[in-house]
Chain A
Amino acid sequence: MGPVELLHMSVFSQSFSPCGRFLAAGNNYGEIAVFSLSAALSPDATAQSQKPVLTFSAHEGPVFSLLSNDCHLLSAGSGEVSCWSWAELIKKNTKPLWTKRPNYKSSLEIPEINSMTFNSRDNSLVLAGGDNNVHILDLERGLFKSVLQGHSDYVHCVSVRGREGEILSGGEDGAVRMWDSRTGQCVHCIEVHKYESCARPQFGKWISCVTTDSDWMLCGGGPSLSLWHLRSLSPTSIFPLIGCQRQTSFYQDMILAVGDGPAVSHCLLGGEVKAQIPCSPQSLNTLQLNTNSTDYRVLTVGGSSDHIDVFTNLSYRTFSFSF
């Protein structure tokens, strides 16, 4: 990895291990690096402990999405999903358990998989594909169950409403669609850019992040980041953040958002921005909270740099991992 490659590196995805002691990060060169949180947070940490314990090449294209469940790490790149075992990765064995490819209609262009999420109701994996469809992979049998069609442009992000069993998908066409996971029908379609309060025509109508809390939904991208009440399908708060937000998440009573701009924004549900914490990358792509372990409760953000910032206290950056 020469210095030029490091300069042009972007981190697109992160995931914590089920034990909470390791962080896996995927970059735009198709590599996944595993960092040891326990070594970096221990009292006798050195500069070497901020380097990865393992780096391997996972896909040919960028690794857009990483996801962990109880024992596996799933990674999605250009057109395929691979599954790795965390136990094997910790032992530095980088052979994937399986690699699957959804059924694409055209075989000329391989569309990328932008985002993945688990649907724990029926143990399936929901993939946001670049072919304007949402693919659902049944993890028990390993087959692709169904395809949700409806978007007219590629799907950026997916999220699952646990209680109602609905899948939310946001796409480049500016629509957030809600699908019933059992029947595969599109239940609702919200065109966010049509609401005057949210729309920002100067950025466009694309939706790049959707996250839900079963009753509430956050979506943003071209239009401003907005909080929606799902039962009445109405926007309740608009957040005055400059720039397009690429990932958001609910945390206790706050909303954390990252996007353009070298800062993590902390916002309250009422619509005010409480704080903007500066970080080292110039713009951020991914935000993850370690909820798997009580000892290493950290927030990590990565973006258009080879550094991944780690926050042990949400108010300031503690240190950075680097590829």
Chain B
Amino acid sequence: MTSVSEEAGRSLTAQQKSLAVVTDRRQVHSYRGSRCCRRKRDTRRVYINWMNRAKETEDDEVIRKRLLIDGDGAGDDRRINVLLKSFTKWCNSPGTPDEGFTQYQRMMGILAQCEFSMGKTLMVYDMNLREMENYEKIYTNIEQNITSAHDKIAECKKEIQRAKRIRKNRQEYDALAKVIQQHPDRHETLKQLEALDKELQQLSHIKENVDAKLELRKKQFHVLLSTIQELQQTLENDEKSDNDENIQGSPAQNGE
């Protein structure tokens, strides 16, 4: 048993060594507290730049990835490494079962902590996704509102133009109406016209009657006057013929 675990431990050791080197270095740094984080990041950046310039090998790749991932809190990665180390230690430890058990409890505790932090980050990730969706929704909503506001503005502008035309027409009607009001009513004028017509007709009737009477009297007077003149002529003629007879009668008497 122990030989297997020893072998397993030995086979792990080679890989673990390189990692342990890195983690040891980092543990040393992290002991100094978070004000070293910035320096840690700077050294990381320098290291990555150096790495970009150098040729990438397997180990470099791994180291680079580990350095890049180390963004989520100072302790998690370290915790996992501590767990692994303590696990291998615990596998290889010859100590009492009680110690072994306490060590086991401690490891379970660390594992639980790791799981808890993993769960937390997963939830944060979910929350971020949902927040993104929410923002997307709000964004599309606002865009729709903007376009509908634009449409409403165009509508209102058209309405204003219509209203201005209507107002202009109304004012024109009013202006014309003012002028029209100054003229008298059509009914009254028509009535006055009718009354005047009737008067005119009456007067023309009277004029005709008077004319006819005048003609009649003229004719009657004409008849009268012509009769008188004829009588005068006849009387004159008679006188003349009497005188002629008298003159003829006396020379005949004188001649005898």
Contact = CB atoms under 8 A, between A and B. Distances in A.
Do A and B share a complex?
yes
Contact of B168 (A236, A237, A269): A269
Contacts of A53: none
Contacts of B179: 229, 232, 234-236
Contact of A237 (B161, B167, B175): B175
A268 B171 contact: yes
B174 interface: yes
B171 A270 contact: yes
B175 A271 contact: yes
A216 interface: yes
A252 interface: yes
A227 B178 CA distance: 12
A235 B176 CA distance: 9
Given A216-B172, A269-B172, A253 B178 contact: no
Interface residues of B, number: 12
Contacts of B174: 269-270
Contacts of B164: 252-253
Interface residues of A, number: 15
B205 interface: no
Contacts of A216: 172
B150 to A, nearest CB: 16
B27 to A, nearest CB: 59
Contacts of A271: 175
Interface in A194-245: 215-216, 227, 229, 232, 234-237
Interface string A21-55: 00000000000000000000000000000000000
Contact of B178 (A215, A232, A236): A236
A236 B176 CA distance: 6
Contacts of A235: 179
A253 B178 CA distance: 18
Contacts of B158: none
A147 to B, nearest CB: 35
Interface string A255-268: 00000000000001
Contacts of A270: 171, 174-175
A235 B182 CA distance: 12
Contacts of A237: 175, 178
Interface of B: 161, 164-165, 167-168, 171-172, 174-176, 178-179
29 contacts: A215-B172, A216-B172, A227-B175, A229-B175, A229-B176, A229-B179, A232-B179, A234-B179, A235-B179, A236-B175, A236-B178, A236-B179, A237-B175, A252-B161, A252-B164, A252-B165, A252-B168, A253-B164, A253-B165, A253-B167, A253-B171, A268-B171, A269-B171, A269-B172, A269-B174, A269-B175, A270-B171, A270-B174, A270-B175
